Amino acid sequence: MRLDTQPVYNEKDLEGQENSNMCIGPFKRMCHWGPLIAMGIIKAVTLATVSCLSQWWPPQGSWGGRLVSTSFMSCALLTLYCFLHAMCTGPGNLPPHWIPEKEEDKQYLQYCGTCEGYKAPRTHHCRKCGCCVMKMDHHCPWINNCVGHRNHASFTFFLLFAVLGCAQATGILSLSIYHAIHRTWYLYYGRGTEPMVYLSVWGLVVCMFVLGLAIGVVLAVGMLLYFQLRGILRNRTGIEDWILEKAIHRRNPEDTPFIYPYDLGRWNNFKQVMNMWCEPSGDGVVWSMREKCHQYTLTIEQLTQKAEKRERMREYQVVESYSGWWFPCTKGLGVCCHPPCTDEQRIKLTPGDVVAVTRWKRYWLYGECTHPAPSQSTSASRHRGWFPRRCAVQVVSGAENNTNTAANDTKPRREQENKKKR
């Protein structure tokens, strides 16, 4: 059984999407700390490596120098191109007010209150971009954009060429610094064939700093590249990994196992994302499926998980104000030293607010503010995030209170029965 859905657009939606793209141009994307730092690292590593390479192994002196220089400059240029392509192309967004072609398909899809439309399969709403992103993997601050359906290939190539280029830069800068430090020894005791690298004190400091940047890129970006390639071969995004983990965890051993619908085999998964022109296959709405699966297999699982999440939800009433700071020193040392390991926002709360909590940690809670205090102005946007656990107390309903009372009453009886048996 295969349920297909096609995007339905109208002139109003397309006009709104064009205006949105005009407002968020490439220059505005660039004016952010993430792209600026990334461009600074690319420029610093490229200039320092080219400068040292011209002294350590001049490209005009031998074929080996030309080969090394050509290889490094190719990686540097491709890194810059794929970085700009991933940032400016974007992941591909659903237009506002999107609906499936068939009316009966709405029951299988989640509704986005912000975009006022339905989410297509594998589509998720990004709070930072303010839109629904097709096949969203994550929001990357370094490109100031989401990684998704349209720019997944270019983002992966950006990581690949960055690692390859910085690996070459690490070798070139290390050998250049070594020869620059031993230059005097070579003048007196060398054979005359050693390369002479001239670096001032500040030049040596700058090269060592850039060398540290290059090593950091190889380690950090290399790890991210590994996770991206693993996700591509499995045809799973980071969000879908989390959905699949919960789908397996919530089932009992005797239940029918959940089948991930988009895993078509490693080679087919790879071809679906990666190609020379960085053009994805498909429209980002209708996907190729495994046998015994249909277009809404994963979305139905998401709806079930959402329903179970609402059942686990507990209401908390705020008793202490919280400013929304990431490290609230006034809330205790444990709160500051054990923050949630996530970039999700913190919410500002005042006494009297009611929060629907869905995630619990020892020192922090995550939930959505459902009933603001009368002093706050309500808004249509969802106000959710993390806040210190000590700022709120759980609101116990009558049924829960009766259950807890009954449990407390039966506890002494069980203890007396156990004593009699002994």
379 and 242 in a common domain? no
317 and 205 in a common domain? no
- What range defines the domain where residue 66 resides? 11-271
| C-alpha torsion sign, points 33, 160, 155, 220 | negative
Report the largest interatomic distance among the alpha carbons of the chain, rounded to a whole angstrom: 97
Which residue, 281, 19, 298, is CA-closest to 150? Answer: 281
Does the pLDDT of residue 375 top 90, yes or no? no
Taking a C-beta distance cutoff of 8 angstroms, is the pair 70, 125 a contact? no
Tell which phi-psi region holds residue 226, choosing left (phi > 0), alpha (psi between -120 and 50) or beta. Answer: alpha
- Work out the burial of residue 114: count CB atoms within 10 Å of its CB; fewer than 13 is exposed, 13-18 middle, 19 or more buried: middle
Q: What is the mean pLDDT of the chain?
A: 86
Query: pLDDT for 147-189, tens place per residue?
Result: 999 999 999 999 999 999 999 999 999 999 999 999 888 888 8
117 and 24 in a common domain? yes
348 and 262 in a common domain? no
As a whole number, mean pLDDT of residues 53-63 equals 90
What pTM value is reported for the model?
0.82
228 and 332 in a common domain? no
340 and 197 in a common domain? no
Beta bridge partners, 125, equal 132
Does the pLDDT of residue 406 top 80, yes or no? no
131 and 22 in a common domain? yes
What percentage of residues in the chain have a pLDDT greater than 70? 86
257 and 145 in a common domain? yes
Does the pLDDT of residue 404 top 70, yes or no? no
Query: pLDDT for 251-281, tens place per residue?
Result: 998 899 999 999 999 999 999 999 988 998 8
Judge whether 284 lies within some domain.
Answer: no
Judge whether 252 lies within some domain.
Answer: yes
367 and 231 in a common domain? no
379 and 266 in a common domain? no
| C-alpha torsion sign, points 219, 220, 223, 228 | negative
Q: Indicate the pLDDT class of residue 21, thresholds 50, 70 and 90.
A: very low
Q: Indicate the pLDDT class of residue 192, thresholds 50, 70 and 90.
A: confident
Judge whether 17 lies within some domain.
Answer: yes
As a whole number, mean pLDDT of residues 40-67 equals 93
Which of the residue ranges 45-49, 189-193, 201-205, 342-346 would you say has the lowest mean pLDDT? Answer: 189-193
Judge whether 289 lies within some domain.
Answer: no
CATH number of the domain that residue 383 is part of: 2.30.30.40
Judge whether 156 lies within some domain.
Answer: yes
193 and 337 in a common domain? no
Judge whether 232 lies within some domain.
Answer: yes
Q: Indicate the pLDDT class of residue 315, thresholds 50, 70 and 90.
A: very high
Please give the Cα distance from 85 to 327 (Å, whole number): 36
Structural domains in the chain (count):
2
Eight-state DSSP code of residue 371: E
Instruction: Tell which of 242, 271, 300 closes a domain.
Output: 271
Please tell me the total number of residues recorded for the chain in this structure. Answer: 422
Catalytic site positions: 140
How far, rounded to the nearest angstrom, does the alpha carbon of residue 136 sit from its chain's CA centroid? Answer: 9
Q: Indicate the pLDDT class of residue 133, thresholds 50, 70 and 90.
A: very high
Judge whether 347 lies within some domain.
Answer: yes
183 and 42 in a common domain? yes
Judge whether 420 lies within some domain.
Answer: no
Query: pLDDT for 218-249, tens place per residue?
Result: 999 999 999 999 999 999 999 999 999 999 99
The Cα-based distances of 35 to 40, 71, 83, 84 in angstroms read 8, 24, 9, 9
